[in-house]
Amino acid sequence: MNKTLISEQAALVALPDSRLKKLLCWETFLLAVTLAVFVANALASPYFLNVWNLSDATFNFTEKAIIVLPMAMLIIAREIDLSVASTIALSSTAMGFCAQAGMDTPLLVCVGLGVGLLCGLFNGWLVTRFNLSSIVITIGTMSLYRGITYILLGDQALNTWPESFAWFGQGYVWGALSFEFTLFIVLAGAFAFLLHKTNFGRRTYAIGNNPTGAWYSGINVKRHNMILFVLVGVMAGLAAVLLTSRLGSTRPTIAMGWELAVVTMAVLGGVNILGGSGSITGVVIAAFLMGLVTFGLSLLNVPGIVMSIIVGLMLIVVISLPIIARRLIQRRVDKRSVIHH
């Protein structure tokens, strides 16, 4: 075993127990809040506990949650992709034109996934090849992909789809269990295994904690991050397939503003926006929480703009609360050390 491999393994296992304890504590808190929201929704609306209504509630977050799985890993590695909503729009538009040309359902799915892959590949290439800021690059590509969609579609909507295409977003596997929700659960298990049980996941944490140290430990940081960008793009393409299938049409404004919801899910789930920590379990719980909140508010006929305000406030609170807590703890520690001396 050479020195490079030894140093890489040392970097991969250097994950402090305190961080794991904090994560578990946050996940427990999130689970408690989710249960409280579930009970509140059940008390607020007599229609909430209907099994078909609960099944419908999953459509509020499933497509976004599928994107947040690789997005969480990307943020842990100190990168971010803000172009995911525009990637969905571009993938959906490409599928729409191909459907009008007479393409069958399997090929349409391949087109959606392929466009998403190309968008993720382009984002990753720009960031890793030229050492550019991912937040700046993906803000640019967010406008680029959405702009291309507007140029191609204008004000029109594409409504011509094969009949079998509707199953992806509207089909049920068994009873009230939708295909979308089943797919999300399967993907959540796959990404949890990838992040927490493989060397790829350990490399992700190592890069997030110290990119320079990970590079000197023998980890190909650029190639690793490129793979993460591609994963995000492919999942955005998959979300485009599901969303377009569910709506039965595509238009330039499809998935508008979803990047905020996806990032909120990741941060609410305990993923450090500065990188280095986070878990798929926390992200999944956060997805359920946001889904329950938005569905409960919709049952109470709360306007969409109010829901957007609530999501924005959740993001601000979740980002600021840990920072404020750390500062308060640090002040107490400093005061004790002064008194001690």
Q: What is the pLDDT of residues 143-181, one digit of tens each?
A: 999 999 999 998 889 999 999 999 999 999 998 899 999
5-19, 40-54, 115-129: segment of lowest average pLDDT:
5-19
> 277 and 324, same structural domain?
no
**Residue that is written with structure tokens 């994560």 in the block:** 23
Confidence of residue 191 (pLDDT cuts 50, 70, 90): very high
For residue 11, pLDDT over 60 is answered with: no
Report CA dihedral (191, 194, 196, 197) to the nearest 10 degrees: 140
Alpha carbon distance 208, 226 (integer Å)? 14
Q: What is the DSSP letter of 177?
A: E
> 316 and 227, same structural domain?
no
Confidence at residue 323, expressed as pLDDT on a 0 to 100 scale:
72
Alpha carbon distance 279, 138 (integer Å)? 23
> 310 and 256, same structural domain?
no
Three-state DSSP state, 174: strand
Domain span holding position 311: 305-341
Q: Which candidate, 315, 183, 173, places its Cα nearest to that of 243?
A: 183
**Residue 306 CA neighbour count, 13 Å, CB half:** 10
For residue 57, pLDDT over 90 is answered with: no
Confidence at residue 21, expressed as pLDDT on a 0 to 100 scale:
52
- Count of C-beta atoms within a 10 Å radius of residue 62: 24
Confidence of residue 327 (pLDDT cuts 50, 70, 90): confident
What is the pTM assigned to this prediction?
0.87
Confidence at residue 56, expressed as pLDDT on a 0 to 100 scale:
85
195-209, 232-246, 292-306: segment of lowest average pLDDT:
292-306
CB 135 within 8 A of CB 80: yes
Residues 127-152, mean pLDDT to the nearest whole number: 96
Residues 226-243, mean pLDDT to the nearest whole number: 98
> 338 and 258, same structural domain?
no
Percent pLDDT > 70 in the chain is 91
What is the torsional sign of CA 210, 211, 216, 219? positive
> 296 and 318, same structural domain?
no
> 328 and 259, same structural domain?
no
Helices (H), the chain: 3-13, 17-44, 51-58, 62-76, 84-100, 105-130, 134-153, 167-170, 179-197, 199-209, 211-216, 221-247, 258-268, 280-299, 304-340
Adjacent-strand bridge partners of 156: none
Confidence at residue 166, expressed as pLDDT on a 0 to 100 scale:
93
Confidence at residue 28, expressed as pLDDT on a 0 to 100 scale:
87
> 310 and 293, same structural domain?
no
CB 195 within 8 A of CB 266: no
> 193 and 60, same structural domain?
yes
> 336 and 224, same structural domain?
no
Angle at 222 between CA 220 and CA 224, to 5 degrees: 65
CB 195 within 8 A of CB 277: no
Alpha carbon distance 138, 126 (integer Å)? 9
State the burial class of residue 260 (Cβ atoms within 10 Å of its Cβ: 0-12, 13-18, 19+). middle
Alpha carbon distance 29, 318 (integer Å)? 12
For residue 341, pLDDT over 80 is answered with: no
Confidence at residue 8, expressed as pLDDT on a 0 to 100 scale:
44
- Between the alpha carbon of residue 209 and those of residues 13, 16, 87, 201, 265, the distances in Å are 12, 11, 29, 13, 21
Q: Which tokens in the block code for residue 197?
A: 């049980």
CATH number, residue 88: 1.10.3470
Of 302, 317, 333, at which residue does a domain stop?
Answer: 302
pLDDT per position as a tens digit, 265-303: 999 898 998 999 999 999 999 999 989 888 888 888 888
> 265 and 238, same structural domain?
yes
Residues 215-221, mean pLDDT to the nearest whole number: 94
Alpha carbon distance 136, 143 (integer Å)? 11
> 106 and 82, same structural domain?
yes
What total of structural domains would you count in the chain? 2
- Count of C-beta atoms within a 10 Å radius of residue 332: 10
> 340 and 296, same structural domain?
no
Confidence at residue 340, expressed as pLDDT on a 0 to 100 scale:
66
Q: Which tokens in the block code for residue 224?
A: 């690793």
Confidence at residue 319, expressed as pLDDT on a 0 to 100 scale:
67
Confidence of residue 22 (pLDDT cuts 50, 70, 90): low
In the predicted model, what is the mean pLDDT of the chain?
88
The amino acid at residue 277 is S
Confidence of residue 335 (pLDDT cuts 50, 70, 90): confident
Residues 250-262, mean pLDDT to the nearest whole number: 92
